[in-house]
Amino acid sequence: MAELLAVERLRAGYAEAVVLDGVSLSLREGEALALLGRNGAGKTTLITSLLGLTTWRAGSIRLAGRDITRLAPERRARAGIGWVPQERNIFRSLSVEENLTAILRPGPWSVPRVFELFPRLAERRRNLGDQLSGGEQQMLAIARALVLNPRLVLLDEPLEGLAPIIVEEVLAALGRILRDEGLAAIVVEQKARQVLAVTDRAVILDRGTVVHDGPSAALLADPRLLEARLAVGDKGA
């Protein structure tokens, strides 16, 4: 598979604060990457740097061979980067269906297709965004990213605050999107074991640098490494 994303020696942060210090990673077409690390390791900063929302210091970001390091956020979105933020950012005063049709772009992911992926949303298609449960809002946030038909989707803590039964539904949907449909993605998640089960590779950040890059399956099978890098014990995420 061809390389889709290449991040080389990226230094970035907020105003005068440098959070990422020389981060390098790559992602192939159709590959799903779990981005892991303790709180404050720089995971969300890396996501927002890919979106163009941080202060750039050095390094480069290339998407499908195109240098997007200095592109404005809206131009990166048009280039094919989708985003599911922690805050979800749905239109609460619009219906589920209106949330989707308002931003729909041509491509394989249509409104009927995301309704098939998330039957709960189909059942609530006429409900307003603020009438949905937290889990349904998360499903809608993911669906909104999909109908933009991005080349790469960034998901920031998609399982955070969800009830266990909803976690199972969202994980099943992510498994289909990433494994079966082959959409390239970077998934930030505290529930390490669950996200490792649906991704191909894992990168661990520590204090703004990459300290591990390898297959998700190998990391999932190495509880000692998970414990050492993430403080994940037998009862961990």
What are the pLDDT digits (tens) for 93-152?
999 999 999 999 999 999 999 999 999 999 999 999 999 999 999 999 999 999 999 999
Q: How far apart, in whole angstroms, are the C-alpha atoms of residue 100 and residue 215? A: 34
15: number of Cβ within 10 Å: 7
pLDDT for residue 237: 43
**pLDDT (tens digit, 9 = 90+) per residue, 21-65?**
999 999 999 999 999 999 999 999 999 999 999 999 999 999 999
Average pLDDT, the chain: 94
pLDDT for residue 232: 61
**pLDDT (tens digit, 9 = 90+) per residue, 155-213?**
999 999 999 999 999 999 999 999 899 999 999 999 999 999 999 999 999 999 999 99
Rg of the Cα atoms in the chain: 17
What contacts 105, CB < 8 A, 6 or more positions away?
147, 148, 149
pLDDT for residue 207: 94
DSSP state of 234: T
pLDDT for residue 138: 96
Q: How far apart, in whole angstroms, are the C-alpha atoms of residue 174 and residue 171? A: 5
pLDDT reading at 3 higher than 90 = yes
Q: How far apart, in whole angstroms, are the C-alpha atoms of residue 105 and residue 100? A: 10
pLDDT for residue 231: 74
pLDDT reading at 236 higher than 70 = no
Q: How far apart, in whole angstroms, are the C-alpha atoms of residue 98 and residue 93? A: 10
| Contact assessment for residue 212 and residue 219, using Cβ atoms and an 8 Å cutoff | yes
DSSP state of 178: I
Instruction: Determine the distance from the C-alpha atom of residue 165 to the mean position of all C-alpha atoms in its chain, rounded to a whole number.
Output: 21
pLDDT reading at 223 higher than 70 = yes
pLDDT reading at 7 higher than 50 = yes
Q: How far apart, in whole angstroms, are the C-alpha atoms of residue 202 and residue 38? A: 14
| Contact assessment for residue 32 and residue 185, using Cβ atoms and an 8 Å cutoff | yes
| Contact assessment for residue 25 and residue 186, using Cβ atoms and an 8 Å cutoff | no
Q: How far apart, in whole angstroms, are the C-alpha atoms of residue 215 and residue 202? A: 6
Helices (H), the chain: 43-50, 73-79, 96-101, 111-117, 119-123, 134-147, 164-175, 192-196, 216-220, 223-230
> Which CATH superfamily is 31-55+73-231 part of?
P-loop containing nucleotide triphosphate hydrolases (3.40.50.300)
Q: Which residue has the tokens 């499908």?
A: 64
Task: Say which amino acid occupies 24.
Answer: S
- pLDDT band, residue 229 (cuts 50/70/90): confident
Q: Where are the domains of the chain?
A: 31-55+73-231
| Contact assessment for residue 69 and residue 61, using Cβ atoms and an 8 Å cutoff | yes
| Contact assessment for residue 214 and residue 44, using Cβ atoms and an 8 Å cutoff | no
Tokens for 7, please give them.
């991040």
